[in-house]
Amino acid sequence: MLLGAMATAGSAQAAVFSVSAGDVAALINAINQANANGQSNTINLALNGTYTLRQSVDAFNGLPAITGPLVINGNGATLQRAAAAGTDEFRILEVQSGPLALSNATLRNGRSEAGGAILNSGTLNLTNSVLTANEAVPRDGVRGTGGAISNSGILTVLNSTVTLNSARLGGGIANSDFGSARVFNSILSGNTAAFGAGISNAFGSLVSVTNSLLARNVSERSGGGIDNFNATVRVTNSTLSANSAFSCGGLNNEDGTVSLVSSTLTGNTGGGLCSFQFASASVTNSLVVNSAPGRNCQSDDDLVSAGNNLDTDGSCARLRTGGGTFRQVTAAQLKLGALADNGGPARTHALLRGSVAIDRGSPADCGSRRTINDQRMSVRPVDGNTDGVAVCDIGAFEFGAPLARCGGKIVTQFGTQAAETLRGTPGRDVIHVFAGDDVVFGASGDDVICGVAGNDTLAGDAGNDQLLGGSEQDNLRGGVGIDRLDGGLGQDICEGGLPPQGDTAINCEQVRNVP
């Protein structure tokens, strides 16, 4: 069943559609209507519903291509291509323009020549979602690119997991043809490909990986974690662990540009960091260690050390140029823990007490905007060796740094330093946003939401929520439930739900609907 409500007046009106669980026909109809009116529309899927696509709508996609602005709130739903034998091969969806904001959904079992789950040439923001068991297969002259996502547009993957997908190029994500892909607080694991099992980046494109984990991705040829060809890759506060390839299991760079900052590359089979064919690689405050078989660093040109770095076999130090260092240490001196849940959205390799990486980062690069947090979003620097001076550690983990909290609770979902729209899950979320004018919806559950800088809009929606504004002019909206609103600094507006149900508001310039 499709329930639609027009949200604004005029000849073309934005609409909100609610689609019952399993009603694929209604979902197709909702997308078609959203495309037709050219407004910013919203589709709400049923809580934990399953939508099984049994045939394509156009020989390529299970759902109509997105051609206008659209928000799809998954609410824990699954969109999947039918697994029955004889089902046609098609991807789940395509974004031709958008922007599409897709949140809290699982996309699985898509199968296509480009983008097993999603093909994006427009703008796609993917949040709190899982892409799994999708495949890109060579067909009709296309080499099989992007097991989960094939991108040539603008892509943001936030607080999401891309796992167990396969392709020839880019088992998880293939980014090409001047596309821009940003991966933040996310996990890419268990993907397979010939080149770039986690991510394949090529032909003038840009990939930015921040506060994320790439682990156990397997390439037949090169770039188990990331394969970069004639393009640009930036890796910050991230971990590449236990990826494997015939050549360079961690990050392979050919005729491209790589920047590696405050990151950990460890246990990657076939080599950790490789840079060939007039490529450029700059490494700052990072660990490139324990790559066996294969050397930690391999290059036919100089690796630029822009800060304090460590390796465990001397291969990086031999290739090093630039003003920074690449010091060889032993595994016993490094004291690097196993990949484990040390807090934060993704697992990390903790530095154990006494590690030579503690407080050994470059002070010039410590605490800048890009390195003010470690991978877990814990604040750097911390005086980990208790010498009275706080200096950042080398790698993605800051020893002794407490986990980030919001309203006294450990944060489960982070924003970035840019302005964005975030949506919580159907459960209890603790959401923390940073700089930028952010818009945050808690969804259902008893949520805690914190703003810091920027003129933020924090909406609790359903549940008994706690909304904490930051230093500027925020708008706090409690919604349904008994909510606690704290505007913080700045001239804030605090709105309780209707009818008033016992909400409280403090530090607010204007208060509405609060007893």
Distance CA 486, CA 481 (A): 16
Find out whether 489 and 472 touch, Cβ atoms under 8 Å.
yes
The amino acid at 118: I
Which pair of tokens denotes residue 76?
A: 């824990």
Length, in residues, of the chain: 515
How does pLDDT run across 127-152, given as a tens digit for each residue? 999 999 999 999 877 789 999 999 99
Q: In DSSP terms, which residues pair with 150 in a beta bridge? A: 119, 174
**Burial state string for 82-111 with b = 16 or more CB within 10 A and e = fewer than 16:** eeeeebebbbbbbbbbbbbbbbbbbbbbbb
Give, for 24, the enclosing helix (H) or strand (E).
Answer: helix 24-37
Distance CA 346, CA 38 (A): 38
Q: Scanning the structure block, which residue is given the tokens 């660093």? A: 297
Mean pLDDT by 10 residues, the chain (515 residues): 52 86 98 94 97 97 98 98 96 97 98 98 98 94 92 98 99 98 98 99 98 99 98 98 97 96 98 92 96 90 84 85 82 98 97 98 77 92 95 97 93 86 87 85 86 84 85 84 85 80 86 82
Find out whether 421 and 442 touch, Cβ atoms under 8 Å.
no
- pLDDT given at position 195: 98
Q: Residue 54 to residues 110, 135, 154, 228: CA-CA distances in angstroms?
A: 11, 17, 29, 36
Under DSSP, is residue 282 helix (H, G, I), strand (E, B) or coil?
A: strand
How does pLDDT run across 321-359, given as a tens digit for each residue? 766 778 999 999 999 999 999 999 999 999 999 999 999
Phi, psi torsion values for 201, nearest 5 degrees: -130, 125
Which of 454, 453, 457, 449 lies closest to 494, judged by CA? 457
Distance CA 410, CA 163 (A): 25
Find out whether 398 and 374 touch, Cβ atoms under 8 Å.
yes
Phi, psi torsion values for 500, nearest 5 degrees: -55, 135
Which pair of tokens denotes residue 162?
A: 């891309």
Distance CA 509, CA 511 (A): 7
Sign of the Cα torsion 35, 159, 458, 481 reads positive
Q: What is the rounded end-to-end Cα distance, in angstroms, of the chain? A: 38
Q: In DSSP terms, which residues pair with 269 in a beta bridge? A: 244
Distance CA 406, CA 476 (A): 15
Give, for 93, the enclosing helix (H) or strand (E).
Answer: strand 93-95
Distance CA 125, CA 140 (A): 29
The amino acid at 468: L
Nearest 10 degrees: CA dihedral of 202, 198, 122, 179?
-20
- pLDDT given at position 444: 78
Q: Scanning the structure block, which residue is given the tokens 């296309």? A: 142
Q: In DSSP terms, which residues pair with 283 in a beta bridge? A: 260, 305
Q: In DSSP terms, which residues pair with 199 in a beta bridge? A: 173, 226
- pLDDT given at position 450: 87
Find out whether 511 and 505 touch, Cβ atoms under 8 Å.
yes
Contacts of 332 (CB under 8 A, 6+ apart): none
Q: Residue 444 to residues 36, 427, 480: CA-CA distances in angstroms?
A: 30, 6, 9
Q: pTM for the complete prediction? A: 0.94
- pLDDT given at position 8: 41
